[in-house]
């Protein structure tokens, strides 16, 4: 965020521009000065704000009007670059110098110099200006009375300062104010005409307030204020200072202090006060700590920290990410029912500029009977988001204040990037905890019912009417005594599956409808086309086994097909009978995803195949019984 500061000195001839520059550099008053000083660059480490600073002089004698205009345009152009977030941007300020003993040089500020600098600029895009009254050694009393009306007239005037090149009074201050005007501009924060914070600033400070209010009582307690102070400024407030702050707010507002803590209004008032007293760098420090850019948007550096995800790797929330999200859940689950009602969810995301989760979340994860997202469902949805779109996930964690609350460098510390899947395959083991299963089948096979059953819903009865369709469902399953996340994604073979990459996943679940004679043929062809030669494990699922089974119009029966291709036998599923055997299919899928190398060698269970061989027209209910027997035999 360190951009160069460019300070341009303008003003009537002989007001002392060149002398001011030379005094700063030489630390003594030069009796003789050239009409124009060379451009001076001050290295970052000797400036108060640690930013490289260029000081540019102007002389009417040496520079034509055109050259001057170019100099200002140079400043302007850099300003707009800056707005467009160009990384190499320079920010700028103009010091209009006048002679405190010469009224005419003051008049010209209004009539000539400010119109010249900002006459064509639109509101909000003006170059900040500092008024500099030089030769204060020649006058007792100040020029403030004459200057104040000008300051009131032009909101781009950041501040004014009286100084003397001769006795070196306020010289370094002048350049410090100039730097400050650039680095901590007032304009984005405060409207001097309305004497209040601008809407974007209120929005940013409100987000900061909600993040800092850790117990969600809409009041910043002493503990919360101290923590806030510490994360922004590095040290807690002294107890007395804390009391003073509250007293000031209490005296000046009707609702700024409640239950011995600061309300949002109190917090906003406090920042207004900082700015009105010229301490806007305090507000800027707070805003920057929470990730804001000069335009009061969060910076890309903050929202999108770099995270390299090599091909073959996936992204998962780690322990730290989970912990942060759980604390957030606990904070916003106000009625402590372990579920987020729509309004609780809205509050949780009130610090985001948009709602990160759409209405499809109600289909993707487990919900209560009232259709609220359960604690478990909430963590599942985050897991899904980290898996599917890590950059979005990092952005959302950024909005929620992850780096500030966890005191981490960035959101990436919430994420584990897993080892390449190829390496997992080679080593025959995986540390991953999230697996993707594509549920593939023709239209109407019952994929959605299968997905909804996974998150504990009966598709006909309990899908939330306000939810939007989601092709995903996510839940956890126990595999080898470990809890694993399994993502199911339904894929309609007739509409999708055009590219080979559509096939990629950790396990493919090919589903056919036992009541539709054409159904299996689709699965078989998808298998041959995409999975037969791949190392992706496949599991066949026979759906709607509560209905009577029809013969599949395919060269061989599904069971024969599986046997031939060394696939596990088709697993029977019915969304009407959600018993343990139906549920064990999900475990079986996760298991196949975790141990892809064991796929195909899973056929030790010959007794199963003997039974299947009894006949292809296995009645559905019998199918259940057989399956159960098979499970018990394992
Ligand atoms: P141009 O280059 O012609 O635009 O003038 P300038 O604004 O650069 O003014 P310059 O620095 O040349 O100073 C003009 C005269 O004012 C010189 O004689 C300086 O010595 C004198 N001067 C500058 N600053 C001060 C000051 O703070 N106090 C006093 N008493 N004289 C000053
Ligand atoms: Mg000069």
- Distance CA(154)–CA(158), nearest Å, equals 9
**Residue 247 shares a structural domain with residue 124:** no
User: Domain boundary residue among 124, 153, 185?
Assistant: 185
Better pLDDT: 213 or 468: 213
User: Domain boundary residue among 244, 274, 297?
Assistant: 297
Interval 433-446: pLDDT, tens? 999 999 999 989 99
> For a pLDDT cut of 70, what percent of the chain falls above it?
88
Q: What is the pLDDT of residue 551?
A: 92
Ligand nearest to the CA of residue 163, numbered in listed order: 1
Atom number, ligand 1, closest to the C-alpha of residue 12:
4
Joined tokens for residue 273: 């006060």
Short-list 530, 364, 549, CA closest to 448 = 364
User: Hey, whose CA ends up nearest to atom 19 of ligand 1?
Assistant: 16
Interval 446-475: pLDDT, tens? 999 999 999 998 876 666 667 789 999 999
Listed range (103-107, 344-348, 542-546) with the worst mean pLDDT: 542-546
Ligand nearest to the CA of residue 37, numbered in listed order: 2
**Residue 230 shares a structural domain with residue 323:** no
DSSP states of 216-263 as a string? Answer: SSSSB-HHHHHHHHHHHHSSPPPHHHHHHHHHHHHHH-SSSEETTEE-
CATH number at residue 49: 3.40.50.300
Specify whether the CB–CB gap between 415 and 321 falls below 8 A.
yes
Q: What is the mean pLDDT of residues 399-414?
A: 95
- Looking at residue 623, the DSSP 8-state letter turns out to be H
- Looking at residue 410, the DSSP 8-state letter turns out to be S
Cα distance between the two ends of the chain: 62
The residue whose CB lies within 8 Å of the most ligand 1 atoms, and thus the one to mutate among 19, 21, 25, 139, is 19
**Residue 469 shares a structural domain with residue 571:** yes
pLDDT at 544 over 50: yes
Sorted by sequence, the CB contacts under 8 Å of residue 343 that are 6+ apart come out as: none
User: Hey, whose CA ends up nearest to atom 4 of ligand 1?
Assistant: 13
Ligand nearest to the CA of residue 16, numbered in listed order: 1
Could you tell me the pLDDT band of residue 4, with boundaries at 50, 70 and 90?
confident
Which residues are in the CB-under-5-Å shell of ion ligand 2?
A: 17-18, 35, 59
Q: What is the pLDDT of residue 299?
A: 94
Better pLDDT: 620 or 120: 120
- Which domain does 229 fall in, by range? 196-297
**Residue 118 shares a structural domain with residue 33:** yes
**Residue 15 shares a structural domain with residue 154:** yes
Whether 574 is covered by a domain: the verdict is: yes
Atom number, ligand 1, closest to the C-alpha of residue 165:
27
Q: Dihedral of CA 36/41/47/49: which sign?
A: positive
Could you tell me the pLDDT band of residue 144, with boundaries at 50, 70 and 90?
confident
DSSP run (H or E) holding 271: helix 264-276
Could you tell me the pLDDT band of residue 621, with boundaries at 50, 70 and 90?
very low
pTM: 0.80
**Residue 246 shares a structural domain with residue 305:** no
- Distance CA(534)–CA(537), nearest Å, equals 8
Pocket of ligand 1 (CB under 6 A): 13-19, 33, 35, 59-61, 134-135, 137-138, 164-166
Could you tell me the pLDDT band of residue 612, with boundaries at 50, 70 and 90?
very low
Alpha helix stretches (DSSP H) within 36-195? 65-83, 103-108, 114-118, 144-153, 171-183
Neighbouring CB atoms inside 10 A of 254's CB total 7
Q: How far is the CA of 62 from the centre of ligand 2 (A)?
A: 9
pLDDT at 498 over 80: no
Which residue is it, tokens 């697993």?
571
Q: What is the mean pLDDT of residues 512-530?
A: 92
User: Hey, whose CA ends up nearest to atom 2 of ligand 1?
Assistant: 35
Q: How far is the CA of 95 from the centre of ligand 2 (A)?
A: 14
Q: How far is the CA of 64 from the centre of ligand 2 (A)?
A: 14
Q: What is the pLDDT of residue 605?
A: 47
- Distance CA(283)–CA(232), nearest Å, equals 10
pLDDT at 181 over 80: yes
Per DSSP bridges, beta strands 538-543 and 507-513 are parallel
- Distance CA(424)–CA(596), nearest Å, equals 9
Atom number, ligand 1, closest to the C-alpha of residue 9:
7
Number of domains in the chain: 4
Interval 52-103: pLDDT, tens? 889 999 999 999 888 888 888 766 655 544 444 333 334 589 999 999 999 9
pLDDT at 600 over 90: no
Ligand nearest to the CA of residue 12, numbered in listed order: 1
Whether 190 is covered by a domain: the verdict is: no
Q: What is the mean pLDDT of residues 614-623?
A: 42
DSSP run (H or E) holding 191: strand 190-191
Q: What is the mean pLDDT of residues 487-497?
A: 80
Better pLDDT: 53 or 616: 53
**Residue 292 shares a structural domain with residue 340:** no
Q: What is the pLDDT of residue 183?
A: 85
Q: What is the pLDDT of residue 200?
A: 95
Whether 512 is covered by a domain: the verdict is: yes
CATH number at residue 247: 1.10.238.10
Q: Dihedral of CA 615/613/621/543: which sign?
A: negative
User: Hey, whose CA ends up nearest to atom 22 of ligand 1?
Assistant: 16
Q: What is the mean pLDDT of the chain?
A: 87
Q: What is the pLDDT of residue 576?
A: 82
pLDDT at 620 over 70: no
> For a pLDDT cut of 90, what percent of the chain falls above it?
64
Could you tell me the pLDDT band of residue 592, with boundaries at 50, 70 and 90?
very high
Per DSSP bridges, beta strands 91-99 and 129-134 are parallel
**Residue 235 shares a structural domain with residue 308:** no
- Looking at residue 476, the DSSP 8-state letter turns out to be E
SS3 305: coil
Better pLDDT: 81 or 401: 401
SS3 162: strand
User: Hey, whose CA ends up nearest to atom 28 of ligand 1?
Assistant: 135
Ligand nearest to the CA of residue 68, numbered in listed order: 1
Q: How far is the CA of 99 from the centre of ligand 1 (A)?
A: 9
- Distance CA(84)–CA(81), nearest Å, equals 5
Specify whether the CB–CB gap between 421 and 312 falls below 8 A.
yes
Q: What is the pLDDT of residue 406?
A: 93
Q: What is the mean pLDDT of residues 272-284?
A: 89
**Residue 425 shares a structural domain with residue 401:** no
- Distance CA(294)–CA(96), nearest Å, equals 23
Tally of CA atoms within 13 A in the half-sphere of 358 that contains its CB: 5
User: Domain boundary residue among 262, 281, 297?
Assistant: 297
**Residue 209 shares a structural domain with residue 133:** no
Q: How far is the CA of 13 from the centre of ligand 1 (A)?
A: 8
Specify whether the CB–CB gap between 537 and 571 falls below 8 A.
no
The residue whose CB lies within 8 Å of the most ligand 1 atoms, and thus the one to mutate among 12, 13, 16, 135, is 16
Joined tokens for residue 605: 């269970």
**Residue 87 shares a structural domain with residue 154:** yes
Better pLDDT: 504 or 459: 504
Whether 621 is covered by a domain: the verdict is: yes
Q: How far is the CA of 313 from the centre of ligand 1 (A)?
A: 67
Could you tell me the pLDDT band of residue 124, with boundaries at 50, 70 and 90?
low
Which residue is it, tokens 């993040």?
211
**Residue 281 shares a structural domain with residue 391:** no
Specify whether the CB–CB gap between 21 and 56 falls below 8 A.
no
Neighbouring CB atoms inside 10 A of 245's CB total 18
Whether 191 is covered by a domain: the verdict is: no
Whether 393 is covered by a domain: the verdict is: yes
Q: What is the pLDDT of residue 617?
A: 38
Atom number, ligand 1, closest to the C-alpha of residue 134:
27
Helices 264-276 & 280-289, crossing angle to 10 degrees? Answer: 130
Whether 49 is covered by a domain: the verdict is: yes
Could you tell me the pLDDT band of residue 283, with boundaries at 50, 70 and 90?
very high
Neighbouring CB atoms inside 10 A of 94's CB total 28
- Distance CA(378)–CA(382), nearest Å, equals 6
User: Hey, whose CA ends up nearest to atom 21 of ligand 1?
Assistant: 16
Could you tell me the pLDDT band of residue 614, with boundaries at 50, 70 and 90?
very low
Q: What is the mean pLDDT of residues 33-56?
A: 89
Give strand ranges (E) for 339-443: 339-340, 373-374, 415-417, 434-441
Whether 170 is covered by a domain: the verdict is: yes
Q: What is the mean pLDDT of residues 257-264?
A: 96
């Amino acid at each position: 965020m360190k951009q160069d500061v460019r300070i341009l000195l303008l003003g009537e001839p002989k007001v002392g521009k060149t002398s001011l520059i030379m005094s700063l550099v030489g630390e003594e008053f030069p009796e003789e000065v050239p009409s124009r000083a060379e451009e001076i660059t001050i290295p970052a480490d000797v400036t108060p704000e640690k930013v490289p600073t260029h000081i540019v002089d102007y002389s009417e004698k040496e520079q034509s009007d055109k050259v001057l205009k170019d100099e200002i345009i140079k400043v302007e152009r850099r300003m707009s670059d800056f707005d467009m977030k160009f990384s190499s941007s320079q920010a700028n300020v103009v010091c209009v110098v006048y002679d405190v003993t010469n009224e005419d040089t003051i008049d010209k500020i209004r009539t000539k110099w400010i119109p010249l600098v900002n006459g064509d600029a639109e509101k909000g895009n003006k170059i900040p200006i500092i008024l500099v009254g030089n030769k204060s050694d020649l006058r007792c009393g100040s020029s403030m009375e004459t200057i104040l009306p000008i300051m009131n007239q032009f909101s781009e005037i950041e501040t004014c300062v009286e100084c003397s090149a001769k006795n070196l009074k306020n010289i370094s201050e002048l350049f410090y104010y100039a730097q400050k005007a650039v680095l901590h501009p007032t304009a984005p924060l405060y409207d001097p005409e309305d004497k209040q914070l601008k809407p974007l600033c209120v929005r940013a400070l409100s987000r900061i307030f909600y993040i800092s209010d850790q117990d969600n009582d809409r009041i910043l307690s002493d503990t919360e204020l101290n923590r806030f102070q510490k994360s922004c400024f590095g040290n807690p407030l002294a107890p007395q200072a804390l009391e003073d702050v509250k007293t000031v707010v209490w005296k000046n507002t009707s609702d700024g202090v409640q239950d011995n803590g600061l309300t949002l209004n109190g917090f906003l008032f406090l920042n207004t006060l900082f700015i009105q007293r010229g301490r806007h760098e305090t507000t800027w420090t707070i805003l920057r700590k929470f990730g804001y850019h000069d335009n009061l948007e969060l910076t890309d550096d903050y929202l999108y920290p770099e995270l390299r995800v090599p091909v073959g790797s996936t992204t998962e929330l780690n322990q730290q990410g989970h912990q942060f999200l759980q604390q957030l859940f606990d904070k916003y689950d106000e009625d402590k029912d372990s579920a987020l009602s729509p309004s609780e969810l809205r509050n949780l995301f009130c610090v985001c500029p948009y709602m990160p989760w759409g209405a499809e979340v109600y289909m993707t994860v487990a919900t209560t009977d009232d259709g609220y997202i359960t604690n478990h469902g909430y963590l599942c949805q985050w897991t899904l988001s980290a898996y599917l779109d890590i950059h979005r996930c990092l952005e959302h964690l950024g909005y929620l204040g992850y780096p500030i609350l966890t005191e981490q460098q960035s959101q990436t510390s919430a994420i584990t990037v897993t080892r390449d899947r190829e390496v997992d395959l080679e080593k025959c083991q995986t540390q991953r905890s999230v697996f993707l299963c594509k549920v593939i089948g023709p239209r109407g096979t019952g994929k959605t019912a299968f997905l909804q059953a996974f998150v504990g819903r009966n598709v006909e009865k309990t899908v939330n009417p306000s939810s939007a369709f989601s092709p995903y469902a996510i839940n956890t399953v126990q595999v080898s005594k470990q809890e694993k996340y399994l993502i199911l994604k339904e894929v309609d073979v007739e509409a999708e599956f055009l590219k080979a990459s559509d096939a990629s996943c950790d396990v493919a679940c090919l589903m056919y409808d036992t009541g539709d004679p054409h159904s299996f043929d689709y699965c078989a062809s998808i298998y041959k086309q995409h999975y037969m030669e791949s190392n992706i494990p496949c599991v066949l699922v026979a759906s709607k086994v509560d209905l009577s089974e029809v013969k599949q119009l395919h060269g061989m029966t599904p069971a024969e097909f599986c046997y031939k291709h060394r696939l596990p036998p088709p697993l029977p599923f019915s969304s009407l009978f959600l018993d343990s055997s139906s549920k064990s299919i999900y475990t079986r899928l996760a298991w196949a995803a975790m141990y892809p190398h064991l796929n195909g060698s899973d056929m030790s269970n010959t007794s199963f195949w003997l039974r299947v061989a009894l006949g292809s027209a296995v009645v559905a209910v019998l199918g259940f019984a057989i399956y159960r027997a098979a499970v018990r035999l394992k």
